[in-house]
Structure 1
């Protein structure tokens, strides 16, 4: 295997906070880039540093008990990064940032629209300093802003994208996805766009501005399913636990839990009928082909529910598997992240407890397996400003006297 990862040797200036931006730079770090996280020295750095719970010397706690206690959010999102503090409202701070940009390949920011212009660090500023730089922006509505305050968090974007009205049953209140899907989806597109722009910059010598919006990213996924067409022909957009147009399809209750079943095509559906002890229905006009199953979806789903309700999940899934019908237990997140398969592939990793108190925590890895080199997120999350001096020495060539002066002035 090669000793280098795909982005080895590249330098990323990370001006992000919260979740969407830091997840993008976490992935870039996992792909091998050197990520320099720039944080405000006067406001406690990334707000995620103050997200409860914390890892303390006594284990997990709701409140921080010592300055070095690390938020689990930062422990997850800050891995593989170096932390530098800079006051970007101070001209001297922007001068330091300019020196970092000169030596960088990528800059990622997720300020609200207009903030980088007000700070004087927008794409035009960066391109003048380093024409080959790829400058990536992740925001709620795009670089030009959006409705209302122009600020967006995940739930706002879920509401505007229409995704809240795709889950649940007809007449239910809107359903907010428990996973912050917009915050996690936009950075995936941002990384795709960033890496694409880097490849182009390597060919042409010219960088560019990559602009990704959370609303656009999530709405584009909603548009992958023809919900508007369903509505026009009278199919329900929200169907609850099952999907009649794909019957048998959905989640069903067993004696001790829930399971998911996806069997829209004939071979799978016939396997379901055999698993529930009704092979006679394979040739029944109501269930033998897809149109018949869709027309009699409620009846078919009722047969499955009646069969499964008195059996343990493990027995139900085993029976369906034995007849070639795709099925799985519905797991809670704690069990899911401890799956030996995803752990073995590095898609989820066990976190190192910086306090040494034995906290049992798991976090995202890089869910891409390369044949040429393992993709890992190396190192624990940094304390605020932990690498300020080393980065300014190594990347910017500053003497200790200059760094001391910046620290004394509160710029670093």
Structure 2
């Protein structure tokens, strides 16, 4: 990819009031697509992710911060391609400055608890009065309109409430938490889609709007894509471990030296699989000759598949089935997976460098898995230091002088 190409969202200005993961990931995507994202932090109480272990510094990766040069991987990853300013929104002057910034912005993204932005005087209703075309995106635990009772959420809580924890594992197992923060990562995808759609509408109509995405709603919507409760009513367990009964043979199977994923739901695939197993006659067996019968006899079918794979090395299973066109893949560690040469080449994952010390830790993080033929997408600037772009942003957008900025800093407004 050529960084000199135009960027899809070039010319758009987005004010970023987000913290932690769900919000910063949404604005990271927008920054990776070329928007000017201005990350706003309290000068005395900045984003908590700045203190998240592990850290990257001169000596590589550590679990404890040893000196000022050690920077949180969370910040280095989620802050890329963003501008960083400080602003105390709890002060009257700071709120007034933010309202002025909003006059020049195309969008605001925030992930406060529901109602917090309104209490601060920087909610959508207030900002829409000064900038009617503004798109205002809120990412919250349960929705911007859920102001009473439980309105704070973290990924594990949302995984629990969404039903996700009782879709993995086997019947009778304890709930299984998905190892990546899938709630905190799915909601920002919907928030980004909603923000872009609202920006397109604002370009046509001149009117912005409030985009409202909840972590619980996003993850529950994902869970609802797989009709687990319907399968349960039909006598199938909602928890089938490493296999998927309704598409049998479909799942993860032990090999002689690891595990392999095999997905053969169609007659063509399953015939090729049976041939590789040395049992082509199974394709004519009444129990396995149609999709419905394979679902009915899924446990027996999966046991037969694993009886074969367990005697064969993973690479051999993959090579054999791959040559026959059967979808399959080795089960890899996260470290192996993120270093896939295809993912690195395409920018879907990327090596993270310290802004001062360079590549000191062989750290691979998320890239931007969106490629375009006529535009640059991705990250080519490091995360900002706290308040690094105060002078540039406040001078350009608000016309403030160096003397004014020094005075504001002395009074802890910025």
TM-score range, shorter chain: over 0.9
Residues 225-259 of structure 1 deviation map (CA, whole Å, 9 limit, x = unaligned)? 22222122222111111122211111001111111
Paired residues of 1:11 and 1:34 also in contact (CA < 8 A) = yes
TM-score (norm 1): 0.97
2:350 corresponds to: 349
Deviations 1:79-109 (A, max 9, x none): 0011111110001111111121111101000
SS of structure 2 residue aligned to 1:157? helix
Give 5+ residue unaligned stretches, structure 1: none
Distance (whole Å) between structure 2 residues aligned to residue 200 and residue 365 of structure 1: 28
Structure 2 match to 1:84: 85
Alpha-carbon distance in 2 for matches of 1:127, 1:107 = 11
Contact 1:112-1:145 at 8 Å conserved across structures? no
Question: Is the contact made by 1:169 and 1:239 (CA closer than 8 Å) also made in structure 2?
Answer: yes
Kindly indicate whether the alpha-carbon contact (under 8 Å) linking 1:40 and 1:88 is maintained by their aligned counterparts in 2: yes
Counterpart of 2:134? 133
Task: Provide the rounded CA distance (Å) in 2 between the counterparts of 1:119 and 1:68.
Answer: 34
After superposing the two structures, state which structure 1 stretch, 143-152 or 296-305, moved more. Answer: 143-152
1:248-286 deviations in Å (ceiling 9; x for gaps): 111001111111011111001111101111112221212
Structure 1 182/146 Cα, relative in aligned 2: closer, same or farther at 3 Å?
farther
Q: Which residue of 1 aligns with 2:152?
A: 151
Partner residue of 1:72? 73
* Higher mean displacement: 348-357 or 50-59: 348-357
Give the aligned partner of residue 385 of structure 1.
387
- Which of the residues 20, 23, 28 maps onto 2:22? 20
Matched with 1:323 is: 324
**Which residue of the partner structure matches residue 199 of structure 1?**
200
Aligned ranges for residues 281-360 of structure 1 at < 5 Å?
A: 281-354=282-355, 355-356=357-358, 358-360=360-362
Aligned equivalents of 2:124 and 2:371: distance in 1?
33
| Equivalences for residues 215-254 of structure 1 within 5 A | 215-254=216-255
Corresponding residue number in structure 1 for 2:177:
176
Please name the residue that 2:409 is paired with.
407
Runs of 4+ in 1 over 6 A off after TM superposition: none
1:264 and 1:309 map into 2 onto residues whose CA distance is 20
Q: CA deviation at 1:296?
A: 2.1
**RMSD across aligned C-alpha pairs, in angstroms?**
1.4
- Structure 2 distance, partners of 1:190, 1:387, is 26
Per the alignment, residue 397 of structure 1 pairs with 399
Aligned to 2:39: 37
Counterpart of 1:372 in structure 2 is 374
| Secondary structure in 1 matching 2:354 | coil
Structure-2 change in CA distance of 1:233 and 1:146 (3 Å): farther
Is 1:113 equivalent to 2:114 in the alignment? yes
CA 1:147/1:249 → structure 2, altered by over 3 Å: closer, same or farther? Answer: farther
Instruction: Report the secondary structure of 1:174's partner residue.
Output: coil
Deviation at 1:383, TM superposition (A): 1.0
1:169-199 Cα offsets, whole Å, 9 max, x none, are 1011111101101100011111111011101
Aligned residues: 411
CA-to-partner distance for each residue in 1:321-374, whole Å, 9 max, x for gaps?
122211100111111111111112111111122333621111212111111112
- TM-score, structure 2 normalization: 0.96
Q: State how far apart, in whole Å, the 2-side matches of 1:177 and 1:3 are.
A: 38
Q: Contact 2:58–2:360 at 8 Å: present in 1 too?
A: no
- What is residue 210 of structure 1 aligned with on the other side? 211
Q: Which shifted more, 205-214 or 143-152?
A: 143-152
| Cα distance change, pair 220–181 in 1 and its aligned pair in 2 (3 A) | same
Residue pair 2:232, 2:238 contacting (<8 A) in 1 also:
yes
Deviations 1:112-135 (A, max 9, x none): 011111111110111112111100
